[in-house]
Amino acid sequence: MANQRNNQNQSQENWKLRKDEVRRWIQDGFEDETINYTDAFGKFLVGARLTTSQIRNIFGEVKRLQGATQGQADLSAVRKDFLMLRPKLAYAAKRAGSRGIESLKEVMDVALKAVETTGPKAKDQFENFVDFFEAILAYHKAYGGRD
């Protein structure tokens, strides 16, 4: 029991919100450390009892937006819906009231704010955001995230 708690504390230390790095990964692209971070965060979310369906509710919306931007040069067609992801996450976190969804909201809030919704980098940054979110979801599932 104490060993499990120690592992969870270590996992929490490994994912601790690093705003500047998350911002940089979304704006400039992935690094090896991005993958290490999403791995540790996905593992932490399993320990925090976040369910796959809680993540997929928001991720499904993100994938819908990604589909709507296919063949588009920018995010203008989905800008409003993209901006609405932050309040939707806040609502989900408050409604669920769990540490896992609150932690997901904190990290995603930084990542969402890092995407410039207008301008020449918007589309690339949005794709980086989608990949970042997908990596978290994949590691969550790999570590036994339940539905």
- Between CA 102 and CA 134 the distance in angstroms is 18
Q: What is the pLDDT of residue 34?
A: 95
Q: By C-alpha distance, which of 109, 91, 105 is closest to 22?
A: 109
In order of 21, 32, 70, 71, the CA distances from 38 in angstroms are 12, 10, 25, 28
The alpha-carbon radius of gyration of the chain (Å, integer) is 15
Unique residue bearing structure tokens 């203008």: 76
pLDDT at 141: 94
Question: 43-71 pLDDT, tens per residue?
Answer: 999 999 888 888 888 999 999 999 999 98
Cβ contact 125:29 at 8 Å: no
The structure tokens 């540790």 sit at 40
The kind and range of the H/E element at 88 are: helix 85-96
Q: How far is residue 7 CA from its own chain's centroid?
A: 22
Span 110-140, pLDDT tens digits: 999 999 999 899 999 999 999 999 999 999 9
Q: Using one digit for the tens of pLDDT, what is the confidence trace for 74-123? A: 899 999 999 999 999 999 889 887 888 999 999 999 999 999 999 899 99
